[in-house]
Amino acid sequence: MFTAKFITNIIYNGKGLRAIGPDGKPTRVFVRQGDLDGLCSIYSLMMMLIFHQKLDWEDLRDKERAEGNMFVGHIHRDFLQGLNGHLCMNGLGMDDLSEKLNRCFGENLSVVFSTEPGKNNTVTRRELHLKIRAQLDARKPVMLGFHRKSGPGHSVVAVGYRREAWNRLRLFCLDPGHNLLFMQIWNNVIDLDYISNDDTAITDINHYEEDEVYVSSILIIQDNPTKPDLSFDNNESGFNEWFNYEPDLPF
């Protein structure tokens, strides 16, 4: 039997993977590089904001919404180009994303950024892993940044996890660099080396690319506690029932 823990605001209907948007209705959530212009960190951030019910898919595409909604307008001005519905071509580090979000929306949400275990004495690798698990235990998504042995870094959004063997934390992720196929609710898997005390070892595993990586930073959005979350029953979507049998897993 396949068992895993997933975030609350994720559903699957006949149109594909969806989240409940600010208006209480299902909205498209997965953004693939090429759907809009831009690099992976911006795409992952947009998915995070959709999961947190700060905007929906149409907010990214419709410039008139940007002109009529202060929050969406800030998103377009700070992360999109010229209210034209296209994402910035220049990639932004997660520290830049965190700073921009806190500056623009500090009264409505709080962004927690943790980076580089062993660098500047921020957090240890173990502490970073515990932060990831704690957020997923709270049924909230986590934006991950990782380094490869060679080539550029990348970012994805973790939407669920399970313990895999005794030394691995398996993260189910939405990866903007790859397609999301029909009936999939994740399209990449990152295995964290959950017991490693080495803050520099590249021993995490990116399953899609079949390569070792190093998850080095995370971005977490904390909603304003004074604003009630929109609630819904996952059972209505058939999501929970979908995991009551052994599925044909993508990895």
Q: What are the extents of the domains in the chain?
A: 5-242
93 pLDDT more than 80 = no
84 pLDDT more than 80 = no
Take residue 136 and report the two structure tokens written for it: 């997923």
Q: What's the pLDDT at 173?
A: 95
Please report, in angstroms and rounded to a whole number, the separation of the first and last CA atoms in the chain: 15
236 pLDDT more than 60 = no
In this predicted model, what pLDDT tens digit does every residue of 194-204 receive, in sequence order?
777 676 677 78
78 pLDDT more than 60 = yes
CA distance 192 to 204: 5
Q: What's the pLDDT at 249?
A: 39
135: phi then psi, degrees, rounded to nearest 5: -70, -40
Q: What's the pLDDT at 112?
A: 76
107 pLDDT more than 60 = yes
CA distance 40 to 37: 10
Highest mean predicted confidence (pLDDT) among 213-217, 227-231, 237-241: 213-217
CA distance 127 to 177: 27
**What average pLDDT does the segment 230-246 reach?**
37
Q: Which residues pair with 25 in a beta bridge?
A: none
Take residue 128 and report the two structure tokens written for it: 């970073």
Spatial contact of 96 and 90, defined as CB atoms under 8 Å apart? no
User: How many H helices and E strands in the chain?
Assistant: 7, 13
In this predicted model, what pLDDT tens digit does every residue of 16-38 receive, in sequence order?
999 999 999 999 999 886 555 55
158 pLDDT more than 50 = yes
How is the chain split among helix, strand and coil, in percent rounded to 5? 25, 30, 45
CA distance 244 to 99: 41
67 pLDDT more than 90 = no
247 pLDDT more than 90 = no
In this predicted model, what pLDDT tens digit does every residue of 109-136 receive, in sequence order?
777 777 665 555 567 888 888 899 999 9
Q: Which CATH architecture fits 5-242?
A: Alpha-Beta Complex (3.90)
Residues of the chain with pLDDT > 70, as a percent, come to 70
Pairwise pLDDT comparison (33 vs 177), residue with the higher score: 177
In the block, tokens 């990348």 appear at: 154
User: Which SS3 state, helix, strand or coil, does residue 73 take?
Assistant: helix
